[in-house]
Structure 1
Amino acid sequence: MSWWVIGVLAALTYCFRIVGPVLRERIHVGPRAVRYMELAATALLVSLAITQTVYASDGFAGWARIAGIAVAGVLIWRRAPFVVIVVGAAAVTAVLRLVGLT
Structure 2
Amino acid sequence: MIWWAVIIASLACYALKLAGLSVPDRVLERPLTVRVAALIPVGLLGALVAVQAFADGQALVLDARVAGVGVAVGLLLLRAPFLVVVAGAALTAALVRLI
Which bracket does the TM-score occupy, shorter chain normalised? 0.7 to 0.9
4+ long deviations beyond 6 Å: none
The SS at the match of 2:25 is coil
Aligned length: 99
What letter corresponds to residue 52 of structure 2 in structure 1? Answer: Q
C-alpha separation in 1, matches of 2:28 and 2:68: 43
C-alpha separation in 1, matches of 2:34 and 2:25: 15
| Pair 1:83–1:42, CA change in 2 (3 A) | closer
What letter corresponds to residue 53 of structure 1 in structure 2? Answer: A
Report the counterpart of residue 4 of structure 2 in structure 1. 4
What letter corresponds to residue 98 of structure 2 in structure 1? Answer: L
Unaligned runs of 5+ in 2: none
Unaligned runs of 5+ in 1: none
Report the counterpart of residue 84 of structure 2 in structure 1. 84
* Structure 1 stretch displaced more, 54-63 or 40-49: 40-49
Give how far 1:98 is off.
0.6
| Pair 1:67–1:4, CA change in 2 (3 A) | same
Normalised to the residue count of structure 1, the TM-score between the two structures is: 0.72
Q: Name the structure where helix makes up a greater proportion of residues.
A: 2
The share of aligned pairs that are identical, in percent, is 33
User: Whose RCO is larger (CA < 8 A, sep 6+)?
Assistant: 1
